[in-house]
Amino acid sequence: MANFKLNAVFTGISKSIGELTFYSSNGKTVSRTKSAKPYRHTEKRKEQIQAFTITANDWRLLPAQIKSAWDVFAEKKKTRGYNLFIKSNVRHNRASETIALTPPSDIPSVSSFSLKLSDTGKIQAEFTLPAEAQTLHLTLVYRETDPQFKVSRAFRIKELGINSQSPAVIEELIPQKSYEIFAVLSSDEFGKSQKFSESVFDKVTV
């Protein structure tokens, strides 16, 4: 409630009326609008914003062929590949989990996939391919990982081709760095493909 001090002239008011605050300044009664309360981000909201930002950066760094795969898949749902990628992966980033690199697909996935350090100090990818994979191309998509899951890293490609033999040595990795490596199958060479199997992955520190 506002307090009024009355005399022959309406001279003094304290407190507020509606969105106006009245106060005295140099013997005069003046008014101003109330300042809005600052918006406070809760911890939950901060986590959501951070997860969305990381996922959007993941999309930006995806190889063009994988972006196309999401776009093609999204056409059936009358939406955009970007939207489906974000929807599929923001929860993974919020939980500090590995993302789904590729959308659902009728191309069979790699049956098993693991990374091991060889006797020569190189990282080996050991995998088992499905019976239907005799004419499919195997590609490894990998990136350095951020221990805090706060920074998106660029993806790199290593094509292993048709009838790939396990294990495959990955010589491009930098010592003392950590990586997540995805394995995907496609009916054509990676650079010509717009459709891939659902990715499988493993993580390793060199």
pLDDT of 150 reads 61
Entry field: residues in the chain: 206
16-37 average pLDDT score:
58
22-31, 61-70, 147-156, 174-183: which range is least confident on average? 22-31
pLDDT of 126 reads 96
Does the structure show a pLDDT above 50 at 106? yes
pTM for the predicted model, two decimal places: 0.76
**Bigger pLDDT: 156 or 18?**
156
pLDDT of 20 reads 57
| Nearest-angstrom CA–CA distance, 179 and 144 | 4
| Nearest-angstrom CA–CA distance, 184 and 193 | 11
Amino acid at 8: A
